[in-house]
Amino acid sequence: MSVLELIQKLPKTELHLHIEGSLEPELMMQLAQKHGVALPYNSVEEVAAAYNFDNLQSFLDLYYLGASVLRDEDDFYQLMWRYLLRCKADNVVHTEIMFDPQTHTERGIGFDVFMAGFQRAIDDAKAQWGQSVLLIMSYLRHLSEESALETLQQAQPYLHQIAAVGLDSSEMGNPPEKFIHVFAASKAMRLQRVAHAGEEGPADYIWGAIKHLDVARIDHGVRCVEDEGLVRYLTDRQIPLTVCPLSNIKLCVFDEMSQHNILQLLEKGLRVTVNADDPSYFGGYLNDNYRALHEHLGMNEQQLVALVKNSFLGSFLPEEEIQRWV
């Protein structure tokens, strides 16, 4: 079997996916019309043409703008349902999905609205093809820790639907230490922890996430190579890195895919995984990311299998379930 066939055929997990980043231009335009939301685009083609980014912030500006069309329960159902259909198509048997409550609560849309829509889609996918899903509630790091604490309060009635908390949005100038208290409070509520670190920010932010937020995984983390001691620490403890190749190219973390360091990280013995991040904005879902590694970095079958195994080993699935897959 060729590597490309194997990419499609292997059961996989996805560990780094922002549901708001899976909003395709078609649904965005449809919902804008439904709710009378004015967007600076006149067609699906114009939306797609606007997706040229210089850095993380230039993407985030359009990401928050796009999310403004999400208003009622059915919008959130449609968003989640369409992503879960992609999981089925890509043979992603388990997925750990991030959502940004503050992107919605700041617009007056409550947990009752988005959690209900998300859960109905997840229940449908579970019933129809046995899709496995965990949710990660992500705090926006450009906002205050107070706002994150308030979000954790608002999440109380929904904690049974939430497996972990995360930290995303503008990395530079918003180090992990800013969120010590809310991560400690989240841990006390038995929530697992992840954080974006070392995407645009320095290796020090990865240390910060480990030492101050007690995270089980690092989202991105590709800048860990700048600190040998950190690479040793991550390798010794097999702390997973959820790397997002197409995202890193779109946001200019690397100039081109042939320069991406993911296979070097893998060969160093780090527990690296492949993920789509914001597939609608970055040009591809999970299998597109694996295919790009094959095409531009020559990822071979052995490396593919190692990355896919890591995706299960790095997940929050119960240990016995992980062992059934690897």
Feature table: binding site for substrate: 278
Q: Which candidate, 159, 14, 22, places its Cα nearest to that of 90?
A: 14
Residue closest to Zn ion when measured from CB atoms? 277
Can you give the binding site for ligand ES4, defined by CB under 6 A? Answer: 18, 21, 56, 63, 168-169, 196, 199, 247, 277-278
Residue 277 binds Zn ion (CB under 5 A): yes
Residue 90 binds Zn ion (CB under 5 A): no
* Closer residue to ligand ES4 (CB): 75 or 199: 199
Residues of each annotated binding site: 16, 18, 196, 277-278
**Angle at the Cα of 100 from the Cα atoms of 233 and 146, rounded to 5 degrees:** 80
* Closer residue to ligand ES4 (CB): 163 or 222: 222
Among this protein's residues, is 177 annotated catalytic? no
Q: Tell me the C-alpha distance between 107 and 72, whole Å.
A: 12
What's the min distance (Å) between Cβ of 15 and ligand ES4? Answer: 14
**130 phi-psi bin (left φ>0, alpha ψ -120 to 50, beta other):** left
Helices 203-213, 228-237: inter-axial angle, 10-degree rounding: 40
Catalytic residue, candidates 14, 20, 199, 200: 199
Classify residue 106 by its DSSP letter: T
Q: Tell me the C-alpha distance between 8 and 4, whole Å.
A: 7
* Closer residue to Zn ion (CB): 29 or 162: 162
What's the min distance (Å) between Cβ of 275 and ligand ES4? Answer: 10
Task: Work out what residue 169 binds among ligand ES4, Zn ion, none; the CB cut-off runs from 5 to 8 Å by kind.
Answer: ligand ES4
**Number of residues assigned to the chain:** 326
Residue positions annotated with a catalytic role: 199
